[in-house]
Chain A
Amino acid sequence: MSNINYDIWGAPETWGQWSDSPTSNTIWGNIRIGANNYSNADFTDYPSFKLGGTNQTLRAKCNAGEISVNTPLDNSIAYTAIANPDLPQCNVGLFGKGHTTKTNPFAIRDNSAPIPFSFAYLNDLNYTYYNMSRYQQLLGFDGFPDNATVIGQQKLQRWSPYAYMNPVNTTVQYEYNQCGALMPVLSFGIKSVIFEIIIAYVDYNNIVGHDNLKSYLNHTESWLQNHKCVGAYLRPYYRVNVNGTYSTNIPSGVTVKDRANGINPIFFTPYKLNGIDILNYSGNWARNCGCLPIYGNCISDGSYQYTEIISTYQPNPDNDTCSEWAYIYGYDKGNLHVNVSDDSAIVYIELDLSVAENVEYIMRGAAAYGLFFCQAIGALGNSGRDSGVTERWLDNEMYCGVIADDGMTYGDYTQGAGNADNQVYGWKESTQTPFDPKNIPDTDNTKYDDETKYRQLGYFPTACNAYVCSGGAIEKLSDVIATSIRNRPDPDVTVSEYTLDSGLTNNPIDTIISIKMYPSTQVPAYGSDIPIMFGAWSNAAVTGKELAKNYGTADFTFSRSRQNGFVAAFGNSFLDYAPYTRAELIIPYCGTVQLSAADFLNHDINVRMVIDYMTGACTAFIQRDGIAVLTCSGSIGVDIPITGIQTATFDSQRLNAVLARENALNNSNTSAVGGLVSALGAVGSLMTGNVLGAVASVGGLMSSVNNMNQTGNAYQKADYDLKHLQVPVKAVQSASPLISYVYENVCRLIIYRPVLSSDYDPAVYADTVGFACLRNGKVKQYSGLTVGNINTDGIAAPEPVKAMIQKLFAAGVYL
């Protein structure tokens, strides 16, 4: 027998890798799902699947933290095919035995009672089995019915045949109300637990269309993705039979051995739903939920086509091809056989269906599907089965499983007229209108919407330039501003040389309005690098792209599908909600937002951060399932201080200094001329004997010399001033804090959960205290320690006895 490796959700990486050895791959680290038609088969004969192989997708998800392995079984929703880190050798199995044959694959419908069951066992090499589900405990069963005859080597310590996987599915099954019309109008006897009811009864023409089913299954995938305990459904092959023709969707010639060589049937592509045949859909669904609620074998019965819900297929050990049908359960010779294989023998029980308890046993198992089912053969007859009537739901022979408020089924059911009070009944009407029983329909679709619509902002015109540039451009900015002075004509007092254009270019530093840094490469930019325009002046050394939009967005997603923190850690109990469980959402650059547990449990949380690139402000819109419910504002743009020369001022100062120097020079020249005139006057006076005139001229000469000295000093001063101009500088904005940049650039949800005492034992607690609840019903619906107020109406006992009964129930009675 060959073995096949596949990735398993949530499995430790250390689990087994591919090996061709049929013995080394079994048991340890395996998830095995399969069935066997061979009476003495042991596990090593089962199709077994291991981690590794060529498809690492699921493992990668696990390693990436998208799938948690840190989930105790008790907190799991789907127990099937889930690795328990506390039981590293834990295998999960779905096993079954079948009694149908290829020639009569519908024997199961007539006289078989397939019940899916699953259990885990410890690979302690003693093959001690443990019930992996607590649902059987919820149902009050701790094993076989008392009168069940256990045959064979009994190594099961605890087990339950209840459909654990079903609580996973029921909500989904009904979400789009596809199943309402698929209800088992098939006529089954009590021997038959309705099986085909879910997807099985597929009349492509009349009951449910391919599209509906596809949509339904698509949704299923989405739903299942949001549950962390989704396991892997693994199956090596399956075979379809459409219109009586057997075929296989596995590429021709692909054998197990080929699979080992990396040839993968498309069936194993995770979540590849669109475009795949309906049969594959059902298979995908089964695989996604890690169990076998429906099973993609379509078989034909005359004009009807069915998709078997629970059946398994296995390769023929002889030739690695599909050749055998195998069903989880069979019904044989008047007794229900529940078969379990272990390593060396078949263990099974026989249920005598004439015993009411056994009937109840099966009924509750059927009810665990949360679907309609019927008990008596002939109540509806073949006509009911064939016509798919829906008017008979309230017939006394019809039962319907009760889906509790938590979406789980616990084996309770309603009957006949009581079905009208079952919420499932309300879902029977339509096969077309999606109806999610978990959501209250909008009362007015014109006023309500399920998604916040964000307006798309573009770049709106402004009377300024906005560029996106790198740090390199910023570093060059001061340099190029300084160089702008060099491009200016020397001031030569000819004012007319200054044009209006030059007036717009002479002070680049003044044209800078703001410079902000953003910790992202995703600032929306447009076009290619162009010189940044400072007014009408630019320098080719400083370039940037034009800002494409004034705003940007950043979306942070907390998807239920990948976050192990989103599940109700305490079984969707009060402990999962405020004030016991609470959460804080830390949004970078914005701060912390308080969330109630109800905000995020079972919801998708998205944070859309909108950034205003013009101001640096940002606002985070916290969305729950697409609707913005909270906002939080902050600042993401950091102001970058820029300093530079006040070119215009400097230019003006330089001009004034030059003018002053020129004036000083002119004055100096004028004084020199005056001195010369005075000297000439003195000489002339002496020549003419005018002593007094000469004296006066000499005085003028002396004065002129003094003037020359003074004007020379003035010139020197003006020249000094020109050479020592104080360069005026300017700083554009000051630095703003960037401390918030230290925090990680993602949103983080911090979940605070209560801690229970380490001594807390749910089983003991249930047995001695009981869990607080508020439920109404009849006493017979409950099991275990029950405390409550009982109405003793109907008890033919004396009043004191009735009072005793009331008092006993007020204190607690074990049912």
Chain B
Amino acid sequence: MGFTIKIGSTSDNPLKLSKSVVWADQSVSISPLSAVDLIAPLYVIDYNSGYLSANYIQDNNTNIYYFIENISIDTAQRMNIKCRIDPLYSYQASIKECNITVTRNGGIGKPTLIPDSKLPIIPNIENTQGVIATSDYFDITDELVPPADQKTPRYVVITMKAGNIT
């Protein structure tokens, strides 16, 4: 049983867990000439100009995905494809089940109660808002010396009580 790989291309951010890949129609058989590195393998395949623009590979044998780091063509018209593993896409199913403590997240969509030192707060500038309370009892006069038809302040006069001398 020979090894086969699928060659494709993706425009997704390499840091995305799931990627959209456009695969070539045919898998490509490879015959390792030497030991194949799992993390950074070097695949040697027959020249195909259609693969020159490829940037992604799936190893059909291991179902591991690789970024293509470089393609070189040797004198024997073979393509030497230098790869580097994409651990995210390769193990995405397992990764999704992993426990994680998230310290930053874009999906939250808004600042949280955790202080965020990177948020662009303009120093020394504040918005000010004055909120007036309702007053349901204290009927306060507007003027200290108002016209006669308006409310007037009240005075409290305390005087001596004569008492009952007799």
Contact residue among A406, A510, A766 (Cβ-Cβ distance under 8 Å from B106) = A766
Residues of chain A within 8 A of B127, CB atoms compared? 752-755
Contact A554 B110 (CB under 8 A): no
Contact A771 B110 (CB under 8 A): yes
Cβ of B153 < 8 Å from any Cβ of A?
A: yes
Q: List B30-53 residues whose CB lies under 8 Å from chain A.
A: 38-39
Which of B3-11, B71-79, B97-105 is the interface stretch? Answer: B97-105
Contact A473 B155 (CB under 8 A): yes
Contact B15 A788 (CB under 8 A): no
Contact B159 A464 (CB under 8 A): yes
| Measured CA separation A302–B32 after assembly (Å) | 73
Cβ of B26 < 8 Å from any Cβ of A?
A: no
Cβ of B109 < 8 Å from any Cβ of A?
A: yes
Which of A85-93, A416-424, A432-440, A570-578 is the interface stretch? Answer: A570-578
Cβ of A20 < 8 Å from any Cβ of B?
A: no
Report the interface size class on chain B: 35 or more
Closest CB of chain B to A588's CB: distance in Å?
Answer: 8
Contact B154 A469 (CB under 8 A): yes
Which of A5-13, A235-243, A740-748 is the interface stretch? Answer: A740-748
Contact residue among B87, B96, B116, B126 (Cβ-Cβ distance under 8 Å from A797) = B87
Cβ of A253 < 8 Å from any Cβ of B?
A: no
Closest CB of chain A to B95's CB: distance in Å?
Answer: 5
| Measured CA separation A747–B102 after assembly (Å) | 43
Q: How many A-B residue pairs have CB under 8 A?
A: 398
Contact residue among A469, A738, A756, A782 (Cβ-Cβ distance under 8 Å from B122) = A756
In the complex, the chain B residue whose C-beta lies closest to that of A66 is B134
Q: List A513-564 residues whose CB lies under 8 Å from chain B.
A: 513-523, 525, 532-536, 544, 547, 553-559, 562-564
- Majority SS at the chain A contact face: mixed
| Measured CA separation A614–B156 after assembly (Å) | 8
Contact B115 A772 (CB under 8 A): yes
| Measured CA separation A467–B155 after assembly (Å) | 8
In the complex, the chain A residue whose C-beta lies closest to that of B96 is A780
| Measured CA separation A751–B128 after assembly (Å) | 6
Contact B137 A558 (CB under 8 A): no
Most chain-A Cβ atoms within 10 A of its Cβ — which of B39, B142, B158? B158
Contact B162 A813 (CB under 8 A): no
Whether A753 touches B95, Cβ cut-off 8 Å, given contacts A465-B161, A520-B140, A532-B157, is no
| Measured CA separation A760–B110 after assembly (Å) | 12
Whether A565 touches B129, Cβ cut-off 8 Å, given contacts A464-B160, A780-B96, is yes
| Measured CA separation A536–B131 after assembly (Å) | 51
Cβ of B1 < 8 Å from any Cβ of A?
A: no
In the complex, the chain B residue whose C-beta lies closest to that of A585 is B133
Q: List A431-462 residues whose CB lies under 8 Å from chain B.
A: 462
In the complex, the chain B residue whose C-beta lies closest to that of A470 is B152
Contact A771 B105 (CB under 8 A): yes
Residues of chain A within 8 A of B128, CB atoms compared? 750-753
Contact A787 B157 (CB under 8 A): no
| Measured CA separation A759–B90 after assembly (Å) | 37
| Measured CA separation A562–B120 after assembly (Å) | 31
Contact A782 B105 (CB under 8 A): yes
Closest CB of chain A to B135's CB: distance in Å?
Answer: 5
Contact residue among A563, A745, A759 (Cβ-Cβ distance under 8 Å from B140) = A745
Whether A607 touches B133, Cβ cut-off 8 Å, given contacts A138-B107, A555-B138, A786-B102, is yes
Contact A786 B100 (CB under 8 A): yes
Contact A772 B109 (CB under 8 A): no
| Measured CA separation A121–B67 after assembly (Å) | 42
Closest CB of chain B to A591's CB: distance in Å?
Answer: 15
Cβ of A773 < 8 Å from any Cβ of B?
A: yes
Closest CB of chain A to B146's CB: distance in Å?
Answer: 9
| Measured CA separation A790–B101 after assembly (Å) | 7
Cβ of A785 < 8 Å from any Cβ of B?
A: yes
Q: List A766-815 residues whose CB lies under 8 Å from chain B.
A: 766-780, 782-798, 800-802, 804-805, 808-809, 811-815
Contact A748 B133 (CB under 8 A): yes
Cβ of A466 < 8 Å from any Cβ of B?
A: yes
| Measured CA separation A782–B38 after assembly (Å) | 29
Cβ of A275 < 8 Å from any Cβ of B?
A: no
In the complex, the chain A residue whose C-beta lies closest to that of B17 is A815
Contact A759 B120 (CB under 8 A): yes
Whether A782 touches B102, Cβ cut-off 8 Å, given contacts A520-B139, A756-B119, A805-B88, is yes
In the complex, the chain B residue whose C-beta lies closest to that of A767 is B106
| Measured CA separation A525–B156 after assembly (Å) | 10
Cβ of A609 < 8 Å from any Cβ of B?
A: yes
Contact residue among B100, B116, B117, B131 (Cβ-Cβ distance under 8 Å from A778) = B100
Cβ of A125 < 8 Å from any Cβ of B?
A: no
| Measured CA separation A792–B100 after assembly (Å) | 9
Closest CB of chain B to A478's CB: distance in Å?
Answer: 13
| Measured CA separation A17–B132 after assembly (Å) | 30
Q: List B19-36 residues whose CB lies under 8 Å from chain A.
A: none
Closest CB of chain A to B161's CB: distance in Å?
Answer: 5
Q: List A193-244 residues whose CB lies under 8 Å from chain B.
A: none
Q: List A379-394 residues whose CB lies under 8 Å from chain B.
A: none
Residues of chain B within 8 A of A500, CB atoms compared? 165
| Measured CA separation A748–B113 after assembly (Å) | 27
Contact A518 B155 (CB under 8 A): yes
Whether A471 touches B162, Cβ cut-off 8 Å, given contacts A752-B127, A766-B108, A785-B106, is no
| Measured CA separation A613–B98 after assembly (Å) | 69
Residues of chain B within 8 A of A270, CB atoms compared? none
Contact B118 A772 (CB under 8 A): yes
Most chain-B Cβ atoms within 10 A of its Cβ — which of A515, A517, A525, A797? A797
Cβ of B85 < 8 Å from any Cβ of A?
A: yes
| Measured CA separation A769–B114 after assembly (Å) | 14
Most chain-A Cβ atoms within 10 A of its Cβ — which of B117, B136, B153? B153
| Measured CA separation A647–B13 after assembly (Å) | 99
Cβ of B141 < 8 Å from any Cβ of A?
A: yes
Contact B113 A574 (CB under 8 A): yes
Contact A580 B121 (CB under 8 A): yes
| Measured CA separation A795–B97 after assembly (Å) | 9
Residues of chain B within 8 A of A554, CB atoms compared? 135, 137-138, 140
Cβ of A1 < 8 Å from any Cβ of B?
A: no
Cβ of B130 < 8 Å from any Cβ of A?
A: yes
In the complex, the chain A residue whose C-beta lies closest to that of B163 is A463
Whether A469 touches B104, Cβ cut-off 8 Å, given contacts A573-B112, A749-B133, is no
Closest CB of chain A to B111's CB: distance in Å?
Answer: 4
Contact A467 B113 (CB under 8 A): no
Residues of chain A within 8 A of B126, CB atoms compared? 752-755
Residues of chain B within 8 A of A501, CB atoms compared? 165
Cβ of B94 < 8 Å from any Cβ of A?
A: yes
Contact A556 B116 (CB under 8 A): no
| Measured CA separation A749–B165 after assembly (Å) | 54
What are 6 pairs between A and B in contact, CB < 8 Å? A469-B155, A513-B158, A554-B138, A574-B115, A778-B96, A786-B100
13 additional contacts (CB under 8 A) given A521-B139, A773-B112: A406-B113, A464-B160, A520-B154, A554-B138, A555-B137, A614-B156, A748-B130, A752-B127, A757-B120, A772-B119, A788-B102, A812-B15, A814-B15
Which 9 pairs of residues, A with B, have the shortest CB-CB distance?
A: A554-B138, A784-B106, A573-B111, A770-B104, A784-B107, A766-B106, A772-B116, A511-B160, A785-B106
